Each structure stands twice: as structure tokens, then as C-alpha cells.
Amino acid sequence: MTLVEMMVVICIMAILAALLLPNFQMMLNRAERVVCTGRLKGLWTAFALQLKDGNGWPQLPASIQIGSAEEQQWWISYSSQNMGLSSNDWRCPTFSRLSRSASNSTSSDLINYLPTLFDANPMTPAKSVAMPWFTESGNLHGIGNLCVRADGSVSPAQDH
């Protein structure tokens, strides 16, 4: 193999790498969105089964401040003990990747999906079809905050 042939091969490989790199990021974002959608569906399934069993929507204790780390931990603990969910079920992979790559990341979010605080009536979540059961805590995928609704559909918040 001559030096010229080797340079041509290296140039071709560099061009292919330059073409594939943007597509790789797009495919990674799409894959993370699919995982995120799956996790929202998993939360919906677990909570829908809880409602079907007649247990109603979990009621946050009055002593817990809404939006606090204590509230987030309560949702993780409650769903772990009563539904078999883990803390990972509450995390969006895009959020995890972005917080790892941020050099000054100080995020204390334990969960990335915010549950709707329905009233104590067990049937309210099923009756409020347009009201999201869980909403992503940020527009992490560039299409709006993903939400899962009473029928199990997952869509960006602006769609409804």
C-alpha cells in the first residue's frame, strides 16, 4: 500500500465519520425519547392498576412541601413499596445524560416526572381525560414536556 492510497483511505474514513456523527446524536436523542416514553407508560400502568384495584390516587401527606426533595422521595418510596417501581422508573435518560455532562451540575431532582396532585376522590384521575397524570419536569427532548394522560397516551404538553 502506498502513502497516497493510505491518505485516500484516511480521508474517506474522515468524511464518513463526519457524516455519521450528527446522525448518531439524533439517533441517541430519539432512543432516549423512546425510553422516556416507556417510563411514562410504566408509571401510567402502575398507577392505573392501583386505581383499578380501588386504592385511589396516592395522597401526599399535608406535612410535605410540594416541590421539595422530600415530596420527590415520598413518591419514590410510595411507588416502590406499593407498586414495585424503582427510582430509575422516575428518571428520564436525557436528563441524566445532560446532568452528567454539565460541569457545574447542582441538580437535586430525584424524579423527572411530576405527578398531578388529584383530590381524594378515587375516580378523579380517570374522569379528567385531558389532565396529565405525569408530566416531564422539563422540555428535555425539544418537543415540549412529555405527558401521560388518563388513556395512557404520551404526548408533548402543548398537544392538548
Domain spans, the chain: 32-159
Condensed to tens digits (0 to 9), the pLDDT of residues 58-111 reads 999 999 999 899 999 999 999 999 999 999 999 999 988 888 777 665 556 889
pLDDT (tens digit per residue) in 12-48? 999 998 888 878 888 888 999 999 999 999 999 999 9
Which of helix, strand or coil describes residue 76?
helix
**pLDDT by residue (tens digit) across 38-61?**
999 999 999 999 988 888 899 999
Cell of 40: 411514562
pLDDT score for 56: 86
Q: How far apart are CA 109 and CA 87, in angstroms?
A: 11
Tell me: pLDDT of 10 over 90: yes
Nearest residue to 150 (alpha-carbon basis) of 68, 98, 134: 134
C-alpha distances in angstroms, 92 versus 2, 65, 120?
A: 50, 23, 28
User: Chain-wide mean pLDDT for the chain?
Assistant: 88
Torsion angle, CA of 69/47/43/141, rounded to 10 degrees? -80
- What's this model's pTM, rounded to 2 decimal places? 0.80
